[in-house]
Chains A and B, each alone.
Chain A
């Protein structure tokens, strides 16, 4: 039928019908082109000796020199270590906390349940700047709650929190958990709510204790979800929460060795130090390794549970 006049007419009609749909797609596609695709050629900056007068394309090629310099510095090691170690800690702590809270919430019968869930989700909706203020209210050396209302009454010395490095790994993990726990437990909670009640009824008829039900039914049933979410987080392990690492320590120079991540390094290189090439090299490093990790994580997810793979 394709060659006949009738077929042609039908095809034309069909295509004509699609025109409005293409028009509807234009603004979104155009935006993604501008915001996500047009910058991509700029990645060559990492391979150039950037000269603002000559522009990106006019500047001389530097080959892999920028990367050589980057990896010759202590910075490359520190930012990679910080990014990965913090993320790994976040994954472990957040996953355990989220599962525990989701299980508790799913078992509670009180009306307070809704309130609890709302309360712990609230910090997730607050901007990093405000979170910086909240943390500052506790930690400020002169006026902070901890120095004034906890350490002083106990006769302990004040601590200059924003200069002392050793506390920050704990502070950042704590703030991250505080911020994300409500968000992280939502998916686990909705998964648990979807479980077949029959398992639990059968178990309690058999006299299984609550603890037994949790360890023998809930957690095994949650396993696919846990594995999937953890793998997805591992795929994002090269990216850090810029707001957390930049705003919460107040960009304090004394803390860089424990708060500098790839994202904050790229930011400072570009906008504070004017070291654009180093910043660009670190950015390319992040984009490439990050891309490989996302693909790898997805490959694993697809092997275990094709339903949940991204592609």
Chain B
């Protein structure tokens, strides 16, 4: 049986509970605001990084939502390539500018310092050396579109770009390989695409035209131990499953060396081709993309040839 006295004594303390919650809110509000780093802290931290930055370094923000702030201070040291998300091949040092205890890596940094709420950490990176970056070299590639009547050259021309906005997809470079002006999506060139996770990917847009391939050929590709390729679709199309797969095929000296079959919602995917037997040589690489139906196959890829640091 309930004890009425106990009940009433509990009721007498309800106001204390409410007052406690109100007090918590009133105290927490300024505490949270006081934890926001000042502009001076950001300036000091980013000046520290700027003074030590080398061209082979990369800068990241933690947590990710602070990225625009970090870029507003250090963006002149970055390019669309280095501001995009990618693995650390070719990077010597990774600088992280972070707040709120967030970090992008679990291993202890080589340098760790703080500027009143803004943390600067630096890691020495021992990832692969990049020998040939396809995205950086795409302007020198040869692009063609295979048709019923044979290979049709896609010239590199200045062409209009879309006006930008939600759902428009990656903005093309003004100079790019245009295969068919009547199909404005049928171009090849370097852009920055939002992948399934809405992360920026610096990549080569190579929208398939159908069963006949769109081909990008790179002469004089220096090889190391492996060729690493990533690919995916623009998030607008990647996230809505239901379209056909994109097939990307890699030919080295006209011989099929590897392929990626990319389906919707696979996300930004990796293909690694062992090229140890080609280490130290220069070869021709052709990348072909096809899809049974080209509708909404907004495919973009990046690749590089690599070798472990210190290897010759």
Real binding pair? no
Task: Identify the A interface with B (CB < 8 A).
Answer: none
